[in-house]
Amino acid sequence: MRILIKNGHIVDPANKIDEVLDILVEAGKISKVAKNIKAGADEIIEAVGKIVMPGLIDMHVHLREPGREDKENIFSGTKAALKGGVTSVLAMPNTIPAIDSVENVELLQSIIKKSAQSNVFIAAAITKERAGKEIVPIKQMKERGVLAITDDGSSVDDEVILFEAFKKAKALDIPVICHSEDKKLSNGGVINLGFISTKLGLRGISKESEFRRIERDIELADKAAAQVHIAHVSCKESVEIIRKAKKKGIRVTAETAPHYFSLTDEAVIGYDTNMKMNPPLRSVEDKEAIKAGLKDGTIDVIASDHAPHTENEKDIEFERAEFGVVGLETELAVAITELIENKILDWTGLVEKFSLNPAKVLNLDRGCLSVGQSADIVIVLPNEEWVVCKADLISKSKNSSFLGRKLKGQVDVTILGGKIVYQRMAV
């Protein structure tokens, strides 16, 4: 199977390409990137006016399987990924059971083999049952292909245990992803602590609960010389702490999610539970700081923190509703709308955040369009406007913060390993 993509605007920062070229895909791999390729192909894709970029690598995805297949499963989650231009996901380990043992890694791998529609990489837990007490056998898990460890959803409270984990991770050269939250400080809160929480009469989550824990996590990682990645950064102080740490040369990377650079806690007015996630939507000032962090490179990665929940868990009293929102199908468009349109990032910058940098963080040889690479490619209509609506979402869960929103930029074609796996239906 040969695919020829003609005259697309290719954005591939790894190879410093940002121009109109053709790409030839053969036997699942990228075989040529050049002007005016003359070659026969089974499929020729006319890409004039379209952006051609490496498939997205979303390193923060809750696929929910095994255990909560009512919310999402690996089939539905990866289908949604492809629709969003995401060709690789890093599955978070907070499933039931948690991915905290070799057996559970193997269980997950067998499901992936059976039903995954995109590449699925595995993050294992740091501690057994993500309880923060006993470190998992990192070495054996790494040998089975685990790319990172994280207790996402929880922070390892005990510094001794976390430090031990960092040391082991360092020895094994595996990144540790930190969900940095001091639950004592977040104090049962449900939205950002501020005027909006006061007005709505909802318990607030202070920014301290996030940034103080980030400070601690970076300090411990630095002591152990481990590679640490801070998940879902939401506030100004966190950005500043990470910026400083990077300046000092500490091996820290950071990620944010589209809702943190596009929405603020004002969106919670009306008690919309699709605006409830952890960390919470913050203030305008924080949103601007996240954008600045993306612009100056403090924040390396954009990931969705795709967190599907059923209607039963969301369409209830705000305080009882689950934290989290889906994001695989909207993340690219939200980023185009908020970051490209407002000149926070150019296309090269966008591809770095979505593809190249996550590959680097996870030590994956992907995220680029180099010859010989597995052909994971997404073709984007940069100016296509569309409105997010429930009926169009293919994730099992519909808890999107962007329902009803008009976004700019839509995935036209997704190619995975040289096969066309998603094609937009022309309206």
Partner 1 sequence: MTWTRKDLLGLEELTQEEIELILSTAESFKEVSSREIKKVPALRGKTVVNLFYEPSTRTRVSFEVAAKRLSADVINIATETSSVRKGETLIDTGKNIQALKADIIVMRHNYSGAAHMLARHLDISVVNAGDGWHEHPTQALLDIFTLKEKLGKIKGLKITIVGDIAHSRVARSNIWGLIKLGAKVTVCAPKILIPVGIENMGAEVSHNIDEAIKNADALNVLRMQFERDEGAAFPKQMEYFRNFGITQERLEKANKDIVIMHPGPINRGIEMSSDVADGKNSVILEQVTNGIAVRMAVLFLVSQGRDRIGSKR
Closest CA to 329 of 401, 416, 260: 401
Site for partner 1 in 291-320 (CB under 8 A): 312, 315-320
Task: Tell me how far, at minimum, the Cβ of 316 lies from partner 1, in Å.
Answer: 6
280 contacts partner 1 (rule: CB under 8 A):
no
Nearer to partner 1, 399 or 414 (CB): 399
Angle between helices 74-83 and 102-115 (to 10 degrees): 60
Task: Match 């960390």 to its residue by tokens.
Answer: 279
Nearer to partner 1, 140 or 198 (CB): 198
| CB environment 198-233: b (16+ within 10 A), e (fewer) | eebebebbbbebbbbbbbbbbbbbbebebbbbbbbb
Closest CA to 264 of 335, 345, 197: 197
Task: Tell me how far, at minimum, the Cβ of 179 lies from partner 1, in Å.
Answer: 24
Task: Tell me how far, at minimum, the Cβ of 403 lies from partner 1, in Å.
Answer: 15
Cross-strand partners of 408: 385
* Residue 174: Cβ within 10 Å count: 22
> Given CA atoms 44, 47, 53, 56 in this order, what sign does their dihedral have?
negative
Q: What single letter denotes the amino acid at residue 161?
A: I
Q: How far apart are CA 55 and CA 372, in angstroms?
A: 15
323 contacts partner 1 (rule: CB under 8 A):
no
Residue 286: its H or E element: helix 284-296
Nearer to partner 1, 296 or 315 (CB): 315
144 contacts partner 1 (rule: CB under 8 A):
no
Q: How far apart are CA 40 and CA 57, in angstroms?
A: 30
Give the E-state strand segments of 40-171 in sequence order.
Answer: 43-46, 51-54, 56-61, 86-91, 119-124, 148-150
Task: Tell me how far, at minimum, the Cβ of 71 lies from partner 1, in Å.
Answer: 17
Q: What single letter denotes the amino acid at residue 162?
A: L
* Residue 342: Cβ within 10 Å count: 10
Nearer to partner 1, 116 or 202 (CB): 202
Q: What single letter denotes the amino acid at residue 81?
A: A
Which residues are known to be catalytic? 305
363 contacts partner 1 (rule: CB under 8 A):
no
Nearer to partner 1, 316 or 389 (CB): 316
Nearer to partner 1, 106 or 315 (CB): 315
Task: Tell me how far, at minimum, the Cβ of 398 lies from partner 1, in Å.
Answer: 17
Task: Tell me how far, at minimum, the Cβ of 124 lies from partner 1, in Å.
Answer: 33
Q: How many amino acids of this chain bind partner 1 (CB under 8 A)? A: 20
Nearer to partner 1, 270 or 372 (CB): 270
Task: Tell me how far, at minimum, the Cβ of 269 lies from partner 1, in Å.
Answer: 10
Task: Match 């199977």 to its residue by tokens.
Answer: 1
Closest CA to 400 of 275, 251, 290, 223: 275
Site for partner 1 in 163-222 (CB under 8 A): 193-202, 204
Footprint of partner 1 (CB under 8 A): 193-202, 204, 270-271, 312, 315-320
